[in-house]
Chain A
């Protein structure tokens, strides 16, 4: 079965650079969520999209932005990277009904800022 695909798997950037992470949800899942997980931390919700519109916003820094495209894939854009942005970034998708289903997570993108 198709899963949530994230790219790239690993990314190394220097401070103040920009990074773009991509997420391809499961077909027919039209809700996408982004989470950030720092070393030894629990996943923190960043932002979500439903039907290409932002639906919820969590602890996402102003330096980050995201969008969902017409094919439902989503991109997380991160600018002016800081060392503290080093983390695993997960994308998850769910059917529109959301609450009654478990979310399917991708394998994550490991971002290292040096």
Chain B
């Protein structure tokens, strides 16, 4: 990935457990977004956190952002088999360019 790395690359857990995925980036950002992608399908926006925010919640999702470490984490609580997908972080630059730069993704498998 040109922007950063996601950790781990693959994660396998049992239904009901929590899943944590991490993302690191390299440049200054305006915001960081998390997307989900089912195999071969489109990207679905999950949550956006702005550079001046440290934590954000949405349902079973919790996102943290540490701009000093240039890192973010996505926590999915009480996982379900339907959460099985690839999860990407994407950063929006603080410069004039507004395109998103994606990380390399974490493949999450939730076993029933």
Contacts and interface: CB of A to CB of B under 8 A. Distances in A.
Interface in A1-55: 31, 33, 35, 41-45, 48, 55
Contact of A43 (B31, B46, B102): B102
B43 A43 contact: yes
Given A42-B1, A110-B40, A100 B100 contact: no
Interface stretch (B11-19, B59-67, B91-99): B91-99
B42 A102 contact: no
A60 B44 CA distance: 23
Interface residues of A, number: 28
B45 A104 contact: yes
A84 interface: no
Nearest to A34: B99
Contacts of A45: 99-101
A105 B40 contact: no
A31 B43 CA distance: 17
Chain B residues touching A, majority SS: strand
Given A45-B99, A98-B92, A103 B45 contact: yes
Contacts of B30: 99
A100 B41 CA distance: 24
A98 B44 contact: no
Interface of B: 1-2, 30-31, 33, 35, 40-48, 50, 88, 92, 97-105
14 contacts: A33-B99, A33-B100, A42-B104, A43-B88, A45-B100, A48-B98, A56-B98, A92-B100, A98-B92, A99-B98, A100-B31, A100-B48, A106-B42, A107-B41
